[in-house]
Amino acid sequence: MKEISDLHGVGKQLAKCLARLGITEVQDLLFHLPLRYQDRTHLQMIRDLKDGDEAVIEAVISAVIHPPRGRTKLLCELRDETGKLYLRFFHVLSFQTTILKVGTRLRCYGSVRLGQKGMEMFHPEFQVIAEGKSLPIEPHLTPIYPATEGLSQYRLRKLTTQALSWSTEKDALTDCLPAALMKNLALPNLHDALHFVHRPPRDTAISQLIENKTAAQKRLIFEELLAHRISLLQLKHSFQQQKSVSLEINQTMMQVFLQHLPFQLTTAQTRVLSEIHADLMKSQPMLRLIQGDVGSGKTIIAALAMLQAVANGHQAVIMAPTELLAEQHYKVMQRCFAPLAIQVALLSGQIKSRSAILKSIANAEAQIIIGTHALFQQKVDFAKLALIVIDEQHRFGVEQRASLREKAQKNYYPHQLMMTATPIPRTLAMSLYADLDCSTIDELPPGRTPVITSVMSSHKRDDIIARVREACQQGRQVYWVCPLIEESEAMACQAATTTSQSLTQLLTDIKIGLIHGRMRAQEKEIVMRAFQAGEIHLLVATTVIEVGVDVANASVMIIENAERLGLSQLHQLRGRVGRGSTVSYCILLYQYLSEIAKERLAVMRDTTDGFKIAQRDLELRGPGEVLGVRQTGELSFKVADLLRDRDILAEVNQAADIFMRDHAENIPALIARWIGRDGDYG
């Protein structure tokens, strides 16, 4: 491998800058792909320039004006045969002032604006043209690269030019993908693809490049998706080499548990449970993701999985993203496990009897442990941990999940069960979660009445308040949600507080409660308990209630600023109502509706199917925001985009299997190239 310092002009300082971008070998430069392109392939006459154009001109400096104050400012007047134009510099370097003299001929590239004096360019890139000489016109579109401080586009272009000429040498660059496959897909080889994206010929349509529609880009996208898929499959493979405790299914205990439930499992729940049981009996770790819409009954499945750990003399832990949810799980679990005399413990951030609980976890007295991120802390020692359940897994980062895993028994990996209510389309799930086995609870428990959703302007607040009064007088309970997500947590709490005050003044005959993330666990608990008991009719809340909260009598939800929330989040919130047998209502209030916001809220009005909502959310916002950390943090792509490129995912998955079978020797090179040499996923 040729090192970056082998290139001309790369000293210590520059090598450091490049390393910041992850570039240490010459090859890395080739996989440092342009963000966008500029067209500098033809000169324009000043007369033809329009406000907003990006243009290349050639002209002579006809005047240089230094404003009296602020000596670093500079204004140059330029003329070509057709007109004049001004260059404005706010910070000129001293070498520039010596160059920018009357009579100097310049080629400038920059964006044009109509200023006070006429057409202007701010801080253009420029080159001096020596007397009697001419500069060649660029034969290629100009790439713009991701850069960093101390590294200019000009430098990056010079360096990539060197790297490209190196790649032309025999055997310099290995093409990992088999030629036959590329031929089948009508895609170019690696060398040609890289040359094209770094230096697109001048007649290439920029729009095609921006949309990543050129064959060269498609080839790179394919290769990148393949690299990701293979790295995830390898991760899975290495995980399967680990040892776990095999957990036998205890039918007797399970019967007792089920007999005490007030309902029967749905067909979907039963199916998913049997998939989990099959995993738990193996002596290699389970790594399974349960997808299931809000209210599909994931908690009870988690409890049944945990039961098997306890039945075999081990401990199981469930981790929830909020205190409120952890407390609710605690109550559910206490109730479920009481008939079997199984000990359930809650360890959240704010619990008082911490040391006693820690002790019971360390001496195996506590069999089922429920907690929040507090579980990650060093001090928590598990005696015999065999199963980890992570609820709302998309809320946790990889490191958090990994640190919990380290708490397992020596030499044994815990089984892991992850749960998410963000359903995603199948092919996407296969790519994103290639390292996990997936189960889907695709059925809601019977007897649920769909929520009727309407979208209204916040101008109608008075009407809505009247409706809320009416609902409360009829014995219903209401959630009033104030999201304000852009501002801080503190601001959100403030907004909820103000709203609850104004509602208290307007609805004097109604009991109003307030809950937000800044309250202490105990305070929240008191409010939630009062709401559950029907002592509070109207609960004003921030999105803390988004996950988990379960009050069957609550049948109306008002969501303010609904246009600011993602569809999946709205869907989660709305899942808090419609849990009983009466008809429920959800009113989405907006302040301002853009076209796209209108479309999104219409989706909420028209369907309650979590899968459909997720699909639309994905189309309207892109997977990054929908899937949260996994897309943005754990999986970040250079050229690929799971949503845009979803049509080729199936092909990629198929190619990955063939590749791993027939070309395994190329895997390390492929992964080093696209994912990094230190294995980001490790």
Nearer Cβ to ligand ADP (276/421): 421
| Residue 616 identity | R
Q: In angstroms, what is the minimal distance from the CB of 32 to ligand ADP?
A: 43
By the 10 Å C-beta count (0-12 exposed, 13-18 middle, 19+ buried), 567 is classed as buried
Q: What Å distances lie between residue 589 and 458, 462, 598, 624, 660, CA to CA?
A: 5, 12, 11, 25, 52
Gap between the Cα atoms of 590 and 601, Å rounded = 9
Mapped onto helix, strand or coil, the DSSP state of residue 372 is: coil
Which of 106, 58, 118, 67 is CA-nearest to residue 89? Answer: 67
Contact between 550 and ligand ADP per CB under 6 A? yes
Part in contact with ligand ADP (CB under 6 A); list of ranges 173-181, 276-284, 289-297, 472-480: 289-297
- Residue of 269, 308, 543, 555 that binds ligand ADP (CB under 6 A): 269
List of E strands, 538-678: 538-541, 554-559, 584-590
Quote the crossing angle between the two packed helices 610-621 and 567-574, to the nearest 10°. 150
Which stretch, 69-77, 258-266, 467-475, 486-494, contacts ligand ADP (CB under 6 A)?
258-266
Tell me the one-letter amino acid at 502: S
**Interacting residue with ligand ADP among 299, 360, 420, 543 (CB under 6 A):** 299
CA gap 29, 160 in Å, rounded: 6
Which CA distances in Å does 424 have to 564, 574, 630? 21, 18, 13
292 binds ligand ADP (CB under 6 A): yes
The yes or no reply on residue 610 touching ligand ADP (CB under 6 A) is no
Note whether 537 and 504 are within 8 A (CB): no
Q: Which stretch binds ligand ADP (CB under 6 A): 153-161, 280-288, 298-306, 463-471?
A: 298-306
Nearest to 640 by CA among 35, 233, 220: 220
Per the CB < 8 A criterion, the answer to whether 3 and 11 are in contact is: no
**Least distance (Å) from ligand ADP to the CB of residue 319?**
14
303 binds ligand ADP (CB under 6 A): no
Regarding 324 and contact with ligand ADP (CB under 6 A), the answer is: no
Stretch that binds ligand ADP, among 41-49, 57-65, 297-305, 375-383 (CB under 6 A): 297-305
295 binds ligand ADP (CB under 6 A): yes
> Can you point out the beta strands (E) in 491-643?
512-515, 538-541, 554-559, 584-590
User: Could you tell me how many residues make up the chain?
Assistant: 682
Q: At closest approach, how far in Å is the CB of 50 from ligand ADP? A: 56
Near ligand ADP by CB under 6 A: residue from 296, 360, 422, 532? 296
Which one, 11 or 446, has the nearer CB to ligand ADP?
446
Q: Is 265 in the site for ligand ADP (CB under 6 A)?
A: yes
User: CB under 8 Å, gap of 24 or more: what pairs does 261-264 form?
Assistant: 261/300, 261/336, 263/445
- Smallest gap from Cβ 308 to ligand ADP, in A, equals 18
Query: Is 239 in a helix, a strand, or coil?
Result: helix
Q: What does DSSP say about strands 125-129 and 287-292: parallel, antiparallel, or unpaired?
A: unpaired
For position 263 contacting ligand ADP by CB under 6 A, the verdict is yes
Residue window 428-467: x/- pattern of binding to ligand ADP, with contact defined by CB under 6 A: -----------------x----------------------
Query: Looking at beta carbons only, is 253 or 294 nearer to ligand ADP?
Result: 294
Kindly state whether residue 266 participates in binding ligand ADP, applying the rule CB under 6 A. yes
Say how far apart CA 273 and CA 441 lie, in whole Å: 10
Question: What letters, b where the CB count within 10 A reaches 16 and e where it falls short, cover 594-630?
Answer: eeebeebbebbeeebebbebbbbbbebbebbebbbbb
Residue nearest to ligand ADP (CB): 297
Please tell me the distance from the alpha carbon of residue 392 to that of residue 417, in angstroms, as a whole number.
11
Q: How near is the Cβ of 668 to ligand ADP at its closest, in Å?
A: 41
Of 296 and 422, which CB lies nearer to ligand ADP in the complex structure?
A: 296
**How far, in Å, CA of 479 to CA of 555, rounded?**
8
Smallest distance from ligand ADP to CB 575, Å? 6
Cβ 440 to ligand ADP shortest distance, Å: 12
Structure tokens at 327: 């407390």
CB of 298 to ligand ADP, least distance (A): 3
Among 187, 280, 294, 573, binds ligand ADP (CB under 6 A): 294
Q: How far is the CB of 283 from ligand ADP (least distance, A)?
A: 29
Beta carbon nearer to ligand ADP, 388 or 648: 388
User: Which of 299, 315 has the CB closer to ligand ADP?
Assistant: 299
Total residues in contact with ligand ADP, by rule CB under 6 A: 16
Stretch that binds ligand ADP, among 107-115, 287-295, 424-432, 468-476 (CB under 6 A): 287-295
CA gap 83, 78 in Å, rounded: 8
- Per CB under 6 A, the list member of 177, 300, 468, 675 interacting with ligand ADP is 300
Nearer to ligand ADP, 39 or 550 (CB): 550
Which of 34, 143, 297, 578 contacts ligand ADP by CB under 6 A?
A: 297
Between residues 270 and 363, which has the closer beta carbon with respect to ligand ADP? 270
Q: Return the number of other C-beta atoms located less than 10 Å from residue 640's C-beta.
A: 25
- Is residue 325 close enough to count as binding ligand ADP by CB under 6 A? no
Residue 588 phi, psi (nearest 5): -95, 115
Per CB under 6 A, the segment of 183-191, 259-267, 467-475, 582-590 that binds ligand ADP is 259-267
Binds ligand ADP by CB under 6 A, chosen from 107, 199, 228, 298: 298
Residue 549 phi/psi, 5-degree rounding, is -50, 135
Radius of gyration of the chain measured on its C-alpha atoms: 31
- Do 223 and 667 contact (CB within 8 A), yes or no? no
Helix axes 298-311 and 323-337, enclosed angle (nearest 10): 60
- Among 280, 309, 421, 587, interactor with ligand ADP by CB under 6 A: 421
**Is residue 75 at the binding interface for ligand ADP, with CB under 6 A as the rule?**
no
Tokens in use for 408?
Answer: 């397992």
Any contact of residue 631 with ligand ADP (CB under 6 A)?
no
- Is residue 423 near ligand ADP by the rule CB under 6 A? no
In the complex with ligand ADP, which residue's Cβ is closer, 224 or 275?
Answer: 275
**Cα 528 to the center of its chain, rounded Å:** 31
Residue 657 C-beta: closest distance to ligand ADP, Å: 33
For helices 190-198 and 153-167, angle between their N-to-C axes, nearest 10 degrees: 160
Taking CB under 6 A as the binding criterion, the range among 214-222, 294-302, 477-485, 515-523 that sits at the site for ligand ADP is 294-302
In whole angstroms, what is the distance from residue 146 CA to residue 32 CA?
Answer: 8
Looking at beta carbons only, is 314 or 579 nearer to ligand ADP?
Answer: 579
Residues forming the site for ligand ADP (CB under 6 A): 263-266, 269, 292, 294-300, 421, 445, 550
